């Protein structure tokens, strides 16, 4: 005996989500069956809505409901600085921090030759075009993850844009605030010592 | 800066699923954003569909697209035996086993006074009515989970229906096939010894 078709279909859909196997998908489908009608309708609508209403900003690549996005449209933001990040979620993290009021550029990935992701697969071309078009930009902050792919991508972009005479910076590396030296890896410690600041 | 509304809404919906917190919900929402349009539409539809097309069988309480369900409608099934299970998923498990061809009764829960679940909250009343109405039923198999709630529920139902002169049985307890004695708990071992069979 198979699950009734509507359940089988929902299990299949849940299984398309990352990290959800057949057992979990089945549990979720049966849970959905007992959820309030309204919650399930909201869920169903929000799935369609996210695909319909969320676009990528044609300037910076950030997710947005309007094009250009609220950050690119805001004349009060510092037009002289562009922070390059890997993904839209990183923009949220920096906006939550609240200390940065420049612009962003979202790559939607990092270079990873092993996975076949070259410069064409990430949003680098539009960054170059953007820099060529604008006279305002003075500094590009490469705020990429501190992974080998992130570092390599930063190097690559740095080499491309430095000749244009821009200031190119990257985030400070060192001990995470609240962390123990004991548990830090040696590369982090090395960078923390190299970048030490006077008290 | 907040997530755009469509994303925030989808995160909220994902968070209503069991075992999914804010971080996972956010990851799933962003993943959904990059899923093929078709998959997201299927997902959305199947959510609505499961609520619309899946009902509980008015006889046995199993999930079904038609009422009565295919098992209750099947004249070839043994009408003299009813197997009482906790949830619809248990019916699937026994059907997959393929050795049982009687009927079922799904309780949709077990007695759990601590959680305020009494006899009224589970599907026991309809079982009694069903037994009173039918002259065919000769045996009721209490196939409840081997948990304290499952055992207590089995005891409760047993006491209710035994006076009617029915044969009331429960599943054999013992070593799981393929398991090690070393790792079995002592209650399991006790039941395995008590229920030993001749070779």
Tell me the helices (H) and strands (E) count for chain B, helix number first: 8, 6
CB atoms near residue B131 (< 10 Å):
17
Compute the average pLDDT of residues A151-166. Answer: 91
Across the strands, what pairs with A141?
A83, A169
Q: How far is B118 from chain A (nearest CA, A)?
A: 19
For B154-177, the pLDDT digits (tens) are 999 999 998 888 999 988 888 888
Q: How is the beta sheet containing A167-170 ordered, strand by strand?
A: A103-106, A81-85, A139-142, A167-170
Q: Does A193 touch chain B (CB under 8 A)?
A: no
Closest residue of chain A to B108, computed from CA coordinates = A34
Q: Does A40 touch chain B (CB under 8 A)?
A: yes
How does the average pLDDT of chain B come out, rounded? 91
Place B1 in a pLDDT band, splitting at 50, 70 and 90: low
Q: What are phi and psi of B134, to 5 degrees?
A: -100, 140
Say what the pLDDT of residue A1 is: 57
Q: Find the CB nearest B43 among A13, A31, A89.
A: A13
B37 chain-A contacts, CB cut-off 8 A = 51
- pTM score, two decimals? 0.76
Q: What stretches of chain A adopt beta strand conformation (E)?
A: 55-56, 63-64, 81-85, 103-106, 139-142, 167-170
Q: How far is B108 from chain A (nearest CA, A)?
A: 11
> What domains, with CATH codes, occur in chain B?
5-53 (1.10.8.420), 63-198 (3.40.1360.10)
For B93-109, the pLDDT digits (tens) are 899 888 899 999 999 99
Report whether pLDDT(B199) > 80: no
- ipTM tops 0.85: no
Compute the average pLDDT of residues B181-194. Answer: 86
Q: Does B199 touch chain A (CB under 8 A)?
A: no
Place B193 in a pLDDT band, splitting at 50, 70 and 90: confident
């Amino acid at each position: 005996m198979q699950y009734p078709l509507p359940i089988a279909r929902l299990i299949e859909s849940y299984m398309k989500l990352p990290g959800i196997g057949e057992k979990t998908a089945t549990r979720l489908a049966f849970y959905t069956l007992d959820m309030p009608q309204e919650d399930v309708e909201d869920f169903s609508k929000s799935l369609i809505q996210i695909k319909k209403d969320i676009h990528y900003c044609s300037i910076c690549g950030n997710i947005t409901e309007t094009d250009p996005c609220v950050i690119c449209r805001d004349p009060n933001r510092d037009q002289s600085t562009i922070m390059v990040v890997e993904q839209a979620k990183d923009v949220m993290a920096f906006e939550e921090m609240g200390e940065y009021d420049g612009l962003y550029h979202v790559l939607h990935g990092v270079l990873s030759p092993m996975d076949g992701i070259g410069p064409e697969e990430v949003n680098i071309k539009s960054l170059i075009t953007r820099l060529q078009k604008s006279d305002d930009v003075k500094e590009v902050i490469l705020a990429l993850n501190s992974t080998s792919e992130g570092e390599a991508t930063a190097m690559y972009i740095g080499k491309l844009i430095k000749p244009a005479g821009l200031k190119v910076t990257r985030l400070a590396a060192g001990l995470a605030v609240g962390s123990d030296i004991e548990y830090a890896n040696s590369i982090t410690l090395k960078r923390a010592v190299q970048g030490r600041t006077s008290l």
